Every structure is written in structure tokens, then in C-alpha cells.
Amino acid sequence: MWLSDGTVAHLRAVADMPDSAGTRYRILEPVGRGGMGVVYRAEDAALDREVALKVLRTPEVQPDLAARMLDEARILARLEHPGIVPVYDAGTLPDGRVYCAMKLVRGRRLDEIVTPDTPLTERLRIFRRVCEPVAFAHAHGVVHRDLKPANIMVGEFGEVLVMDWGVAKQPARADTPHGSPAHTATAGTLHGTRLGTPGWMAPEQERGDVDAMDARTDVYALGRILRFLLDIGRAAPRPLRAICERALSSDPATRYDDAEQLGRDVDRYLAGAAVDAYRERVWERAARLYARHRTAVLLVLSYLLMRILFIAFG
Amino acid sequence: MNKAVLGMIIGGVLGIFDGLSALVSAPETRPMITGIVIGSTFKGIIAGLLIGWFARKVDSLAAGIVFGLAVGLLLAFLVAAMPSATGEHYYWEIMLPGAFVGIIVGYATQRYGRPATGRAHPGLS
Amino acid sequence: MHHETFPPGTPLPGGFPLTRLSVVAGTGHDDPALQREAWDALIRAYWKPVYKYIRMKWHADPDAAADLTQAFFADAIDAGFLRRFDPSRARFRTYLRVCLHGFVANARKAAGRQKRGGGYRILSLDFAAAEGELHRVLGTEHDPERYFRTESIRSLLGLAVSALREDCRDRGRETHFALFERYDLAETGVSPRPTYQQLADSLGLTVTQVTNQLATVRREFRRLLLEQLRAISGSESEFRAEAIELLGVDPDDVAL
């Protein structure tokens, strides 16, 4: 039988649509596509709200991803933070595909929202908001391992969310059976496995050195993101470049220990204080202090000028 | 350091400076310089205390500066109103520096120093 | 040479039983019945794309193209060129096309020589219908290679629809297929797709029944489509890669 081009396209989409019959979700439309599967906008009939339904490809096609996605759901369920997309539900659809229901984030990716016209302070504030959920994850022993601008969403109200924790690593829990998929996907990732995105991976990630991957691996990726944000505009000030260089150090021992430390150094820069990563020269320190306390300095100088004038003409 | 203490320190330092400047601007006051410096310092400390106390109560840069200016001018006026040994009044030479001191202390206590908890903000009940 | 074999009925992760072997495994199997089934699946899927490709690439007239198509598959069965296929080097569709190039070049040199596959039945092929389909794009499509891929997909989907029709008839689900035909096979160029309410009214069903039955029949369609795809894939990994490309919208869509 003859199928027109339009019918062919429709049948291809139909074949890929998940079957949500019998579940509380009604699939509306695809909104994104990743390596693991497709994300759909769906209606949650039980709570009368829209959700993002991430559905894996059929298990015939990629059987190993189901365990990884369920691991991602478990990690997200334990990390409750405004900057981490909350997960509501996970399970298996009638057609055998694994799904995960999450908050539907309406916004734009970081690399789409930041332009050369975005002021430096605004770019740094966005970066600071990226560090917060990552720092929270680090405090709970979770490493993201795939931080990049494409995985950071900025919502319509300026909220920043870190997405796609699919390759996150967490320490194996004591009750996780050794050799189980959950164990393997966490502390037991195979040595030599390269998880992450080329161009954003730390050197230890490139090598597949799983044992060396920790919070500092994310710090490296955050350094890349910071450099990306700085390179968009004019040449960045030396303290910021120094923060970048420290985060991007090939030796993890010389990087910041975690996202919290990195974020605090950026905070210091924003507050006009000295940053840990950069040793100021005397004149640079004087210039910074002047910039930070400009009004007070000018008032005192005015007072002294008045005194001098009194002496000269009094 | 709380704002009142900060105000007293800045007011005191500027008061000492004010007093010592008399050696240059009015050399005939040299024999009385000790008293001048003590008096000026005391005036600065009182101004700093009042302005710093205000800063603990009201969180507003504009209000702090205006209050500081008013206190500085008032205290300077009280000093300038006393005639000198020659019977002259040095209103301009005393009140202008006094105003500056008040403005500086007013700005500094609003901008720096540890605030008190639960202070009012203009415009809030 | 690498090939993968799974005994029929072996369950895969996710509980989906394997009912088809990959094309290489099937055509090289010891069991003649499985061999025939594999060749049938391969020829059903590819004869139209091959015919259209020969017409477009070498500008052969319809009769010559039909002869070449028949002879190509006969030669494939006879000479066993599939045994030389290495899945690690190329996809099966690409390999097939390369073999076709070689075959046509040789056939032109030795015109008139024809072979028939010994002991195998060549399916009756409706070349007139294929010619009619070709005329829809003649003059507008200028890339034979891309056209071959497009027609392979169209052929595959067509086979899945035919298999679905048979499956629904065997299970007494004529209504299910009717819904699928009226909704998912509807040509939307002239008029819009019918609403669920319209479908319900025309078939004496409720909207809920329409929703549920469409979901059921689409699930079957997907299963049959993947089954057909596996049967013409060179290996399990090729099947997975082809399935990812085949299903859903353009893979170049922005990733989330």
C-alpha cells in the first residue's frame, strides 16, 4: 500500500509515542529528546497539573538504560532543592518502557538565555545560582558528572534548575546489593567508562578514572561553564579568570574542593572583596578598596580638601 | 562592631583631627590646644554616639546622612556660639567642618557596622 | 564474519519475545524454513526501493528495471553475497546498495544473462504499482541515495501496516484496525484528521473506547514495526541504531 510522506511521518511519531493507557498520565506532545529517550509534556489526571514525562526507548532497543533512569529518579527524589528538578513518580508503562515524571520546567537553556549584552554581574549571579544546587548535591555525596549549559534551565521567573542527573554518581548505600544495577551505576561504575559530554569533562573523566571522580569533577565542569559565561562578553577581570583557572586545573588537588567553595569565591568577587584564587598586587588591592568604598573615600577626601582650603584661605 | 561604637570612633578621630587643625588655621590658639583637642574630640564622640544610635534604629542612608548633618551642625553651633578669647565667633570655621563630620559619620554608620535586630525602616509601620 | 543468532522465542529484557532473526542470521540459518522466511522478509522490504533506485540512478526503463530487480535478488540467494556482510563495517541497507551497484555494473556488461535462485520461490512483485509510486516523485527527487533510504522506510512502514491488518483480522479486532486506518492512515493534505468524537460516532463507540482501542492497536503496530525492522537489520546493534532513527521525529531535534 502507498503511504504518503505525511502519513509516513505521522506513523513514525505514532510508533514512538508511549502508551500511557491505564496510568494517571495523558501524553500531550514531545518537548525534548535526549540520549536516553524522549521527554513529553503530559497531564497528570490525579493532581490536575502538567508534568514532564521522561520515557525511555523501548527495552528492546536499549535495555541497559532502564536501571540508569531509575537510579536518576532515586537520586533526584533524595535531593530536595529549589535548583534541582523534583521528581514525582517513576514506573513502567504498559508497553514496557520505563518512565519518570518530573516537574515541567518552562524556560530556556543557559546557552540560549545569555547573550553578549547580558551584564557581567547578571551572568555571575546566574552562575552563582547554578552552584547552589550542585553544592547541595555535593553536601549529600552526589556528583552530577554531566554539567554543561545545555543541562541548565533558566525558568520564566529567573529560577535556575540543574537538569539531567542521569549519569550522577553517589556513594553506594549500605543496603544496596553488590553487583546490582543500582550499585553498579553508583559507586561501582566500571573503570574506563567515559560518562559525560566531550568538551565539558574533567581530565579524570576523559580517562574513565572512576575512582578519581568526586565533587572536584563537577568543579571542573562548573569552571568550563564559568569560562563559557565570561567568554560571551568582554575580557574578564583577572580575579575571575583566576577563579576559572583554579576550577579548571588539571590536577583535582589544586581545584576548589566543591561547588560551595567555588561559589563563595564568586560571591567575594561580587561583593568587591579579595578572592582566594588571585593574589592581588598592592595597587590592585588599593583600586578594589577604592571601588568598594568609593563614597566614603570621596567624603573623607572632601573633608581634607575643605581643611586645606581653610588653611590656605582662612 | 556595632554602629554606635563605630560612630563614636569615627567621630572621635575626626574630632581629634579637627582640634589639631587649629594649630595650622589659628596658630594663636596654641596655648589652649589641649583643651581644644579634648573638647573637639568629646564633641565628635557625642555626635558619633547619637548618629550611631540613630543608625541602629533606622535603616536608611538618606535619613542617616540628614540626621548626621543635623547633629553635626547643632553641636558645632553650640561650640561656635561661645565667643573666643577675643570675643569673636567662628561660626563658618566651626560649623562647616562640624557638618562634614556629621555627614561622614552618618554615611559610615549606615553603610558599615553591625546592625541591631528588629530596627524600623522608613515607610514600614 | 560476525552474526548474531537467537533461537526463536528467546525473551529479551523487558519481556518482549524475539520472533525474528536478523537478516544475516536468518538467511544463513541451517533450517530451510527459517531461511525462506528471512529471504521473504528481506525481499518484501527491499524490492520496491531497489526497483525505484535502479530506475532513478541508472534511468533504466521499467521493464529493464523489473528484470534487474528480480535478477538481483535471485543472484543474492544464489551467490550468497550476504555471507560476506560485516555488520561492523556498514549498515545492511548500505551494503545492499553497494552490492546492487556491483550487480548492475556486471549485468550491463553481460546483458541478457539471467539467473534464477535454485529452489527458492521469488515473490510475485507488483512492478506496475511501484512504477506508479515512482511517478509521484520523478522530477522532484534528485538524490538517489537519500531516496533509497526514504523508500526503505516507506516500504517498512507499509509492511508493518499490512501485518497489523492481518493481525487484527486474526484476533477479531477489525474495529481496532478501522480506527487506526481512519485516524493514523488518514491523508491530511485535503481535510484534517477526524476527531475522536467523530470516530466514535461513525463506529458506534464512546470516546473512551476510541482512546483505549487506538492505544491498543498502536501498541501492536509498534511491536510489528520493530519486528519487521529487526528482520532486515544486519545485527542487533544495527537494529537498535535504526530503531532510534526510525521512531519519532527528526533526531536532529534539540536535545533536552
Mean pLDDT for A39-57 is 91
> Which candidate in A146, A164, A214, A258 is catalytic?
A146
Cell reading at A259:
561547588
**pLDDT reading at A173 higher than 60:** no
The rounded distance, in Å, linking the Cα atoms of C93 and C22 is 13
Read off the pLDDT of residues A85-121 as tens digits, 9 standing for 90 and up. 999 999 988 777 889 999 999 899 999 999 999 999 9
DSSP state of A169: B
Lowest mean pLDDT among A52-61, A174-183, A220-229: A174-183
Would you state the pLDDT for residue A191? 61
**pLDDT reading at A236 higher than 60:** yes
Please spell the DSSP secondary structure of A242-257, one letter per residue: HHHHHHT-SSGGGS-S
Q: Residue B97 and residue A307: Cβ atoms within 8 Å? A: yes
Residues 6+ apart with CB under 8 A from C250: none
In whole angstroms, what separates CA A259 from the centre of its chain?
11
Within 10 A of C238 (CB to CB), how many other CB atoms are there?
23
Would you state the pLDDT for residue A30? 84
Rg of chain B (C-alpha set): 15
Read off the pLDDT of residues C143-169 as tens digits, 9 standing for 90 and up. 888 889 999 999 999 999 999 999 999
**Which chain C residue shows the shortest CA-CA distance from A40?**
C256
Residues 6+ apart with CB under 8 A from A262: A131, A219, A222, A223, A243, A247, A256
Three state DSSP letters for B63-115: HHHHHHHHHHHHHHHHHHCCCCCCCCCCHHHHHHHHHHHHHHHHHHHHHCCEC
Q: Are A174 and A248 in contact (CB under 8 A)?
A: no
The rounded distance, in Å, linking the Cα atoms of A279 and A285 is 9
Chain A environment of C11 (Cβ under 8 Å)? none
DSSP state of C139: T
Q: Is C200 helix (H, G, I), strand (E, B) or coil?
A: helix
Strands (E), C60-211: none
Mean pLDDT for A63-87 is 86
Q: Are B99 and B79 in contact (CB under 8 A)?
A: no
From the CA of A314, how many Å to the nearest CA of chain B? 7
Smallest Cβ distance to C185: which of A7, A15, A94? A7
A146 is known as an active-site residue: yes
**pLDDT reading at B117 higher than 80:** no
Chain B environment of A302 (Cβ under 8 Å)? 100
For A52, counting Cβ atoms within 10 Å of its Cβ (0-12 exposed, 13-18 middle, 19+ buried), the class is buried
Would you state the pLDDT for residue B125? 38
**pLDDT reading at C214 higher than 60:** yes
Cell reading at A133:
544546587
Mean pLDDT for C101-129 is 69
Mean pLDDT rounded to a whole number for chain C: 79
Residues 6+ apart with CB under 8 A from A307: B17, B21, B25, B97
Host H or E run for residue C211:
helix C207-231
More confident residue, B80 or A53: A53
Read off the pLDDT of residues B49-64 as tens digits, 9 standing for 90 and up. 999 999 999 999 999 9
Please spell the DSSP secondary structure of A281-296, one letter per residue: -HHHHHHHHHHHTHHH
Residue corresponding to grid cell 553488590: A178
Q: What is the rounded (10 degree) CA torsion for A113, A115, A119, A121?
A: 50
Lowest mean pLDDT among B59-68, B106-115, C1-10, C22-31: C1-10
Q: Do chains C and A touch (3 or more CB pairs under 8 A)?
A: yes
The rounded distance, in Å, linking the Cα atoms of C36 and C48 is 19
The rounded distance, in Å, linking the Cα atoms of A216 and A213 is 7
Please spell the DSSP secondary structure of B36-55, one letter per residue: HHHHHHHHHHHHHHHHHHHH
**pLDDT reading at C251 higher than 60:** no
Q: Residue A303 and residue B14: Cβ atoms within 8 Å? A: yes
Q: Is C226 helix (H, G, I), strand (E, B) or coil?
A: helix
Q: Residue A34 and residue C255: Cβ atoms within 8 Å? A: yes
**Which chain A residue shows the shortest CA-CA distance from C229?**
A61
Within 10 A of A193 (CB to CB), how many other CB atoms are there?
13
The rounded distance, in Å, linking the Cα atoms of A162 and A178 is 29
Cell reading at B65:
546622612
DSSP state of C10: P
Residues 6+ apart with CB under 8 A from A290: A297
The rounded distance, in Å, linking the Cα atoms of A7 and A290 is 69
With a pLDDT cut of 90, the percent of chain B lying above it is 53
Within 10 A of C135 (CB to CB), how many other CB atoms are there?
9
Would you state the pLDDT for residue B108? 95
Q: Are C231 and C163 in contact (CB under 8 A)?
A: no
Chain A environment of C154 (Cβ under 8 Å)? 3, 8
More confident residue, C8 or C222: C222
Alpha carbon separation from A103 to A54, A68, A154 (Å, rounded): 10, 19, 14
The rounded distance, in Å, linking the Cα atoms of C227 and C160 is 9
Q: Is C135 helix (H, G, I), strand (E, B) or coil?
A: coil
Read off the pLDDT of residues B34-48 as tens digits, 9 standing for 90 and up. 888 998 899 999 999
Mean pLDDT for A58-76 is 77
Would you state the pLDDT for residue C153? 93
Nearest CA-CA partner of C223 in A74, A141, A58, A266: A58
Q: Are A58 and A97 in contact (CB under 8 A)?
A: yes
Read off the pLDDT of residues C13-68 as tens digits, 9 standing for 90 and up. 332 333 456 776 777 778 888 888 888 888 889 999 999 999 989 988 999 899 89
With a pLDDT cut of 90, the percent of chain A lying above it is 57
Q: Residue C247 and residue A15: Cβ atoms within 8 Å? A: yes
Within 10 A of A305 (CB to CB), how many other CB atoms are there?
10
Q: Are C218 and C184 in contact (CB under 8 A)?
A: yes
Alpha carbon separation from A285 to A271, A290, A299 (Å, rounded): 14, 8, 20
Chain A environment of B107 (Cβ under 8 Å)? 295-296, 299
Cell reading at A59:
527495552
Residues 6+ apart with CB under 8 A from C191: none
Cell reading at A174:
549500605
Cell reading at C242:
535504526
Mean pLDDT for A55-65 is 71
Read off the pLDDT of residues C175-207 as tens digits, 9 standing for 90 and up. 999 999 999 998 877 788 888 999 999 999 998
For C207, counting Cβ atoms within 10 Å of its Cβ (0-12 exposed, 13-18 middle, 19+ buried), the class is middle
Cell reading at B87:
570675643
**pLDDT reading at A178 higher than 90:** no
Chain C environment of A35 (Cβ under 8 Å)? 255
DSSP state of C205: -
Mean pLDDT for A151-164 is 91
Alpha carbon separation from C208 to A8, A95, A157, C214 (Å, rounded): 26, 19, 38, 10
Would you state the pLDDT for residue A174? 46
Q: Residue B25 and residue A299: Cβ atoms within 8 Å? A: no
The rounded distance, in Å, linking the Cα atoms of B108 and A299 is 10
Mean pLDDT for A269-280 is 94
Mean pLDDT rounded to a whole number for chain B: 86
Res. C118 pLDDT band, cuts 50 70 90: very low
Task: List the subunits that have 3+ CB pairs under 8 angstroms with C.
Answer: A
Long-range contacts for B79-82 (Cβ within 8 Å, ≥24 apart)? Answer: B79/B39, B79/B43
